Amino acid sequence: MFQKRLSPIGLTPDQYTALRWLNESKEDAICQKDLAKLMFTDPNNISGLVKRMESTGMLRRKNSRYDKRRKLLEITHKGKSLLNLATPVARKLENETLSKLNTKEKKQLISSLRDICQILH
C-alpha cells in the first residue's frame, strides 16, 4: 500500500526510509554501512539504493572530515523536498492503519516497537 501511495511522488518505500534516516540523523551525514544497519538490510542492497538515489539527486556522497577514505551520505535539497511531499502520505497511512486502536493502545504499540528496534540494534 505504501509503495502504491508513494509512486506518484517518485519514491519507493526504501528511498523514503533512507531519506528519513538521513534527514533525522544527528550527524551531518551517515555512512552507507550505518544506513544499512538502520534499515535492517544487506549492504549490497544499500549500495544499489544509494547509487540510484545519487543518480537522481536525492542524496550525495562526501568525504568524512576525519577519514578521507570514508564516504558519508547526506540528503540534498531535492531529497528533502521529496521527503516533505512523502511524509504526509506516510502519516496518513499510519493513521489509517492504527485507526482501530485507541490513544493508549497506539502509544503502547509504538513503545513496544521502539523497544524491539533497540533490542535488534
Q: Which domains does the chain have, with CATH numbers?
A: 2-120 (1.10.10.10)
- The dihedrals phi and psi of 62, each to the nearest 5 degrees, come to -145, 160
The reported pTM is: 0.85
Cβ(58)–Cβ(74) below 8 Å: no
The pLDDT of residue 12 is 96
Q: What is the mean pLDDT of the chain?
A: 91
Q: Which helix (H) or strand (E) holds 96?
A: helix 77-97
Q: Is 61 helix (H, G, I), strand (E, B) or coil?
A: strand
10-28 pLDDT, tens per residue? 999 999 999 999 999 877 6
Residue 28: what pLDDT?
67
The interaxial angle of helices 13-24 and 77-97, nearest 10 deg, is 110
| Mean pLDDT, range 41-53, rounded to an integer | 91
pLDDT of residue 68: 75
pLDDT digits (tens, 9 = 90+) for 68-102: 778 899 999 999 999 999 999 999 999 999 999 99
